[in-house]
Amino acid sequence: MCALALSTLAACQTSSGSSEVTTVAPVAAATGNQAAVGPISYGGNYVVAPNGTAIIHGGRKGCTTAPSFESVGVAVAPTQGTLYDAGISSRNSDSCGRSVPTRAIGYQASPTLTGMDKIVFNGGAEVTITSP
């Protein structure tokens, strides 16, 4: 089974029996400006073209801090793409009663994306990616 931390997802994307690792999309500059990424949702459905990208999740740590990219856990890793650090953002939190800082998680689709890819984050957020 794939490791649960995002920092190890690249190792989960190896080709059969090979030590070659798929390159993770470049990390977006973390500017601290939440408007740079914009508010994002807790899971959802996204249409992403092959080789395209989308910001798909905002991981939070309590009500006051965005977690590090490495600490956002994944229960089900993508099979047709990779996840990358998309910087700092925000999202509404019902349990906190307001908008909270989050770590924006991006998805880079493989050039051969077809059908559907599913990601489940440890907090329970489910994301479905479909090709156009």
* pLDDT tens string 70-124: 999 999 999 999 999 988 888 888 899 998 998 989 999 999 999 999 999 988 8
Angle (CA) 66 71 74, round 5°: 110
Confidence of residue 67 (pLDDT cuts 50, 70, 90): very high
Strands 98-109 and 53-59: antiparallel
> Structural domain boundaries of the chain?
6-13+27-130
Q: What is the pLDDT of residue 11?
A: 32
